[in-house]
Amino acid sequence: MERLDRPTLIVWGDRDLILPATHLAAARARLPRARTHLFRGCGHMPQIERAEEFHHMLVDFWSADRVNPGSD
């Protein structure tokens, strides 16, 4: 299996009808070093449906990568 050696953030909505949240397990298996988050009460577009929470999560993710490049 090919490994992606890049900081990766995976977000999902537990009410996603297009790609059900059960797919998150497969994403975690393929990218075990990725940071993941399941938004509760959210559909297919957490970046829109939960914009403020997503924004804070993304800023934190970017900041962590800059402080600790290449670390988990």
pLDDT in tens, 14-66: 999 999 999 999 999 988 889 999 999 999 999 999 999 999 999 999 998 65
Catalytic residue among 23, 44, 55, 56: 44
Which band of pLDDT confidence, cut at 50, 70 and 90, is reported for residue 6?
Answer: confident
Task: Using a cut of 0.75, tell me whether the model's pTM lies above it.
Answer: yes
Nearest to 17, CA basis, from 53, 55, 45, 48: 45
Catalytic annotation present for 44: yes
Which band of pLDDT confidence, cut at 50, 70 and 90, is reported for residue 5?
Answer: confident
Nearest to 7, CA basis, from 63, 53, 65: 65
pLDDT confidence of residue 4? 64
Tell how far CA 72 is from the center of its chain. Answer: 14
